[in-house]
Amino acid sequence: MDNRPVGVYDSGLGGLTVWREIRRQWPEESLIYLGDGKNCPYGARPAEEIRQLADEAVEKLVAMGCKMVVVACNTATAAAIEFLRAKYNTLPIVGMEPAVKPASLHTRTGVIGVLATARSLDGDLFRRTAARYGADIRVLTAVGEGFVELVEANREHTREAFDTVRRILDPMIEGGADQIVLGCTHYPFLLPVFERIVAGRGVTIVDPSPAVARRVGQLLDQNDLHAEPGHTPYCDFITFADEEYRKRLEYKAFEQDENIAGETH
């Protein structure tokens, strides 16, 4: 048993979609969420710069006593996960893997779509995953241009968001994709928009966040790191940006699911 917190890190607000799932599945675990904010978005930054930013974030979470770190950022995972696991080799680190496998297993048309940042789609992790699970299917990819910026600006419920998503999603659907994988943790904040666009078109949107939370549980089990039964958890929110951004993280976290009860300080 270990009552230390689990650290969750993202370039900004997006990793809160993973934070939500961890809170739902493991409600006795304390969490420290680090949303960089200062350097968001990561999507087009050079890989070496992303590794440096990810290293600074994980170092901060380790210094705050985290027993595990979830890199809830597809771009940071693609650029830095192997480096982080080598440097912090005594720390369980969970990354984001494009959900190509479940999409490939459930496609009826033999075509799936993957929406992600440019850096994620250009990474070895995505190429290996697509080669392993997508060998017998067609994988259509597209950069979610503007998606992160919409979420960071709290504009995900606007007409602009609908038009932006539809412009990128429609060609995938017209190309036969019946499974659309969300390859960036910001993108699930746009789920209501996705669902409006795919309604009645036989398309499933695949959000990997629940699977990531299950992996957190597996590693807690394997390393005997679960919090004690009855432990009262807390949630902290930190950032490399300013206090206003930190408050936005906290607000967005609990706005995302009003059914999550947690103590913040």
| Owner of token pair 């666009």 | 197
Question: Does 30 appear as a known binding residue?
Answer: no
Q: Is 73 a catalytic residue?
A: yes
Q: Which residues contact 73 (CB under 8 A, 6 or more apart)?
A: 9, 10, 11, 14, 15, 42, 54, 96, 185
Question: Does 185 appear as a known binding residue?
Answer: yes
Q: Which residues contact 5 (CB under 8 A, 6 or more apart)?
A: 29, 30, 31, 32, 64, 65, 66, 67, 234, 236
Question: Does 42 appear as a known binding residue?
Answer: yes
Question: Does 90 appear as a known binding residue?
Answer: no
Question: Does 43 appear as a known binding residue?
Answer: yes
Question: Does 104 appear as a known binding residue?
Answer: no
Q: What is the DSSP string of the chain?
A: ---SPEEEEESSSTTHHHHHHHHHH-TT--EEEEE--SS---TTS-HHHHHHHHHHHHHHHHHTT-SEEEE--HHHHHHHHHHHHHHTTTS-EE----THHHHHHH-SSSEEEEEE-HHHHTSHHHHHHHHHH-TTSEEEEEE-TTHHHHHHTT-TTSHHHHHHHHHHHHHHHHTT--EEEE-STTGGGGHHHHHHHHTTTT-EEE--HHHHHHHHHHHHHHTT-PPPTT----EEEE-SS-HHHHHHHHHHHHHH-TT----B-
Question: Does 74 appear as a known binding residue?
Answer: yes
User: Which of 40, 66, 184, 235 does the annotation list as catalytic?
Assistant: 184
Question: Does 231 appear as a known binding residue?
Answer: no
Distance, in Å, from the CA atom of 230 to the CA atom of 70, rounded to the nearest integer, reads: 23
> What are the binding residues?
10-11, 42-43, 74-75, 185-186
The residues annotated with a catalytic role in the active site are 73, 184
> What are the binding residues for substrate?
10-11, 42-43, 74-75, 185-186
